[in-house]
Amino acid sequence: MAIRTHGIQNHFWVEREREREREMGSLINGNSDSPVKLPTIKFTRLFINGEFVDSVSGKTFETIDPRTGEVIARVAEGDKEDVDLAVRAARQAFDDGPWPRMTGAARGRIMIKYADLIEEHIEELAALDAIDAGKLFSQGKAVDIPTVANLIRYYAGAADKIHGETLKMSRELQGYTLREPIGVAGHIIPWNFPSSMFFMMSAPALAAGCTMIVKPAEQTPLSALFYADLANKAGVPAGVLNVITGYGPTAGAAIASHMDVDKVCFTGSTEVGRKIMQAAATSNLKQVSLELGGKSPLLIFDDADVDKAADLALLGVLYNKANTLKCKGEICVAGSRVFVQEGIYDEFVKKLKEKAKDWVVGDPLDPRSRLGPQVDKQQFDKILSYIEHGKREGATLLTGGKPIGNKGYFIEPTVFTDVKEDMMIATDEIFGPVMSLMKFETIEEAIKKANNTKYGLAAGIVTKNLDVANTVSRSIRAGTIWINCYFAFDHDCSYGGYKMSGFGRHLGLEALHKFLQVKSVVTPIYNSPWM
C-alpha cells in the first residue's frame, strides 16, 4: 500500500497525493510499476584485509527499510574481535604494505579508478541509500553519488602535492619539515549521509597514505560494503580500507579505544563524541576529530526579499535546492532556529505557511517526492516526542506536526511559531524536519540570540546590506557562515564546529592535513659549532 493521505493537513495537497498514488502504484512495496528497480543486496559481510568475511561470533543484525519498517537484509555484526582483525590488517598494510610508500601520483591513479567505478554504479548506489537511509533516489543519482566520485578525484589530485617546508633557522642549522601519513585511522560515520560521509572521511585519508577501518552506522551499512568491494576492484591494496558493520557501543567503542589506531574521526552526537574522546585519552592518546551536534541559526533581516527568504528557511531545515540534496532535517547544520526581524515577521509567517504546501512527503524512489522517511523508528519516535514537547511548552504549531500513513517513518514538515529560546525545541538538536521560528528587533539582539546555544556548527544570514552581513558573520561563533544561501558546500571549502559542535574539519586541504603528521628534520651546516 502506498503512503496514505488520511490525517494529512490540507497544505499537503491531499488530492494531488491520491492522484499520485493511482499513477505511481505501490512504490513502498516494490510494485513492478515502480520507475526505479530495487537493488539486489550483494554484500552483507565484514570486509577485512581485502575479503568479505563473517563476523567471528557469527552474529548478524537487521537493516531496516524506513519506507516500510521491513527488513532489507541481515548484516554481519562486527565486535571487538573483528575490530582487532581489521586493525591488525590495517597496521600491517601501513607498516609493511605498499600504500604509504607509493608515490602520491600512484595513489591518485588508483583513487581516480575508484571514482570511475563508483560512477559506473550510480543507480545501484543511489538505490541502496534510498532503501537503507530513506534518501531520495533522484537526488542520490543526480548529486550525492557523482559528488562522492568528484570528491575522491579532488583528493586524488592532492595526493602528489603533499609538501613540507624549508626552514630558515636562526643558527647554523639546515631545517625542513616532512608531512607523513598519521598511520591507521578509524572512521565512525553517521547514517544521515552514508555515502558522502564515507568519503569525506576516507578520501583524504587515502590520499595521505593512511590505512583505515570504517564503521558505518548500523542503520545504513549497505552502501559502505558496496564501496569496499569497489575499492578492491580499483586496486586499493588489501588491508588499506576495511569495513566493520555493527553497533556503536561495541564495534565503534573498540575502534575508539584500540591501541593500534592512530587517529579516530567521528560524526554524530556530542554525547557519543565525549565517550570517544575519553576512550582515546585512556588508551594511546590517539588524535581525535569530531563533528558533533548543531542547532544552527538562520537570521533574516527586514531588508530581505520575503519570498526568497521563506524558500531559504524551508530549504535550510528540509532540503538543499542548490545542490538538490534531501536531508529531512537529518543534518547537523540544518537551520532549525529561524530568527526574523520584526518588520517582516508577519509577512514571512504567512509566506512560509503557503510554501509548505509544496513539500510532498513520499517514497524516496518516487521522483515526485521532495521528502522521504526518517531513517528508523527510533528517530521517528524521537522527532514526534519533540513535537509534543513543543506543544506542551506553549509554542504554536503553524504547520505539520503529524506522522503520515500507517507504514514507514514519514513525518510532515513541521514549523512552530511563538517559540521561546529556552524551549526544548529551540535548544536541543532534534535532527528532523522541525523548525523553530522566533522574532528579533535589532542586529545586536540577533547576534545574541544566534550565539545563545551550546553548539557552533553553522549559521545563515539573509540581508541585502553588506555592513550587516559583515558585522553579523564576524560576530557569530560558528565554523561556517552562509550569506544569502544555505548548505553551500564545496570540495575546496572546509567546515567544522565551534564550541560543543566539535573540532577538526571536513573537506578542503585542511581535511587532508589532519591525516598527516609534521616531522622536523635538522642538520648542522658544515663547520658549524653544532658539528
The residues annotated with a catalytic role in the active site are 291
Q: Is the dihedral of CA 28, 30, 34, 40 positive or negative?
A: positive
Total residues found in the chain within this entry:
531
Contacts of 238 (CB under 8 A, 6+ apart): 49, 50, 51, 89, 93, 97, 232
371: Cα separation from own chain's centroid: 17
Cell of 184: 591507521
Beta bridge partners, 76, equal 60
Instruction: Return the amino acid letter for 105.
Output: A
Name the one residue in this structure whose C-alpha cell is 537484509.
73
Nearest to 326 by CA among 490, 122, 137: 137
Nearest to 516 by CA among 164, 50, 150, 83: 164
Q: CB neighbours (10 Å) of residue 12? A: 22
Contact between 3 and 404 (Cβ < 8 Å): yes
Contacts of 402 (CB under 8 A, 6+ apart): 7, 8, 9, 411, 412
Beta bridge partners, 78, equal 246
Nearest to 198 by CA among 236, 225, 233: 225
Distance CA 197, CA 44 (A): 20
DSSP state of 172: S
25: Cα separation from own chain's centroid: 32
Name the one residue in this structure whose C-alpha cell is 544552527.
296
**DSSP three-state, residue 76:** strand
The three-state DSSP-derived secondary structure of 355-400 is HHHHCCECCCCCCCCCECCCCCHHHHHHHHHHHHHHHHCCCEEEEC
